[in-house]
Amino acid sequence: MKYWRVPLDTGEIQVTRGRVHIIEERCKGCGYCIEYCPREVLQFSRKFNKKGYHPPEVKEEECLNCHYCELLCPEFAIFSIAAEKAES
Amino acid sequence: MKNSSTTATPHPLEDLVRMDRIPHIWCSGCGTGSVFTSCLTAIKQSGIPYNQFAMVSGIGCSGRGAGYINIDSFHTTHGRAIPFATGIKMARPDLKVIVFSGDGDLCAIGGNHLIHAARRNMDIIVICVNNLTYGMTGGQVAATTPFKAKSSTTTLGNPDTPFNLPLLAYAAGATYVARWTMLHARDLTDAVQTAIARKGFSFIEVLSPCPVNFGRRNREKSLDTLRKYHENTIVKNGAHPSELDVDFNKGVILGTFVNVDRPTCDEVYRKMYWPAEEPKEQRKTG
């Protein structure tokens, strides 16, 4: 994220991090998670799943564990789990 | 590892879903699955044991919901989800009864049951998935199809005015009326949780895309519909129900419109007819 001025408490703020899990065989390729991820961490992959849809894949590890994709996915095919933050 | 696609971790909602019936029948881009997920999340987050819930569905795409949830559920005859739910509630007032069904089932064929359950303030939660058409039967014009929208039976556009469902519920006496879209998933989850926690007839209308039978005839893909839900909706809690008609050109109003308290049907009935049984009821819930 880009700031016009770095907040004074940047070092103290705990940012949650998540890891996206995708169950590819359940995906029907509606693209809701890709379109509405607030951090835009997902994109369509080039591969096909068994049903012939392109499941999403993680583009960059910027997930904040907000669970919105999990709530929006009609197929129970995507969810995120809190991840330990590596860097401070 | 960048992407754990072949994850062995189960989805957090798998304990609430009959996984042997997944994949479900809902099309790619259908919003019913999202509404269902929000509903299950609300059930999970409420912290109430699952055996204290019952779900009832009628007929239609969203009527399949009762078949996919892994708690006591009932897939009933067309339009009669609310009468079955009323029966469950009167026999077991300790249960939280959720009716998960579509607009055609609840408001067209079952419209009379809806208004009378609202009038009697039956203590049930009605989640009405409104996809503006009869999706399962081939996209015929429904009681909620917007003016001038095309359907398989109104190929030049719908000449009729659609139902304003929150106004209908409010006029009939519902004590909690809200409307969200499937894109407002967090507000929807909160609304369902509020409805679970309160007593009285709760009516939640959820707008949801039907890309196959409604969107195709009206030149909108499911993501276009979601864009409309994002850009052409106004959240206005406490708005008067008479201004809530679904017209995306002037903006669709979302929010919680009614939240009042009134004695529920089962409470009043029990107090008047079985005053001696009140303590026994306490024992059953414990």
Q: Which residues of B touch A58 (CB under 8 A)?
A: 2-3
Q: Is residue B90 in some structural domain? A: yes
Q: Is residue B228 in some structural domain? A: yes
pLDDT tens per residue, range B132-163: 999 999 999 999 999 999 999 999 999 999 99
Q: Would you list which residues of chain B are within 8 Å, Cβ to Cβ, of chain A?
A: 2-7, 9, 11-14, 17, 22-24, 26-34, 36-38, 41, 182-183, 185-186, 189, 222-223, 226
Q: Tell me if B261 sits within 8 A of B200, measured CB to CB.
A: yes
Residue corresponding to tokens 């679970």 = B196
Q: Which residues of A touch B192 (CB under 8 A)?
A: none
ipTM: 0.87
Average pLDDT rounded to a whole number, residues B13-31: 93
CB spacing of A36 vs B7 below 8 angstroms = no
Q: Is residue B262 in some structural domain? A: yes
Q: Is residue B259 in some structural domain? A: yes
The H-or-E segment that residue A20 falls in is strand A17-22
Burial tier of B216 (Cβ tally within 10 Å: 0-12, 13-18, 19+): middle
Average pLDDT rounded to a whole number, residues B185-193: 96
B135 DSSP assignment: T
- Please name which of B160, B156, B135 lies closest in space to residue B146, comparing C-alpha atoms: B160
Q: Is residue B18 in some structural domain? A: no
Q: Which residues of B touch A29 (CB under 8 A)?
A: 28
Structure confidence at residue B239 (pLDDT): 95
Structure confidence at residue B260 (pLDDT): 96
A26-83 classified as CATH 3.40.50.1580: no
Please tell me which residue of chain B has the smallest CA distance to A43: B3
- The shortest C-alpha distance from B180 to chain A (Å) reads 14
The count of structural domains within chain B is: 1
pLDDT tens per residue, range B62-120: 999 999 999 999 999 999 999 999 999 999 999 999 999 999 999 999 999 999 999 99
Q: Is residue B9 in some structural domain? A: no
Q: Is residue B50 in some structural domain? A: yes
Query: In this structure, what token pair is assigned to residue B96?
Result: 């939280």
Q: Is residue B273 in some structural domain? A: yes
pLDDT tens per residue, range B200-250: 999 999 999 999 999 999 999 999 999 999 999 999 999 999 999 999 999
The domain in which residue B45 lies consists of: 27-285
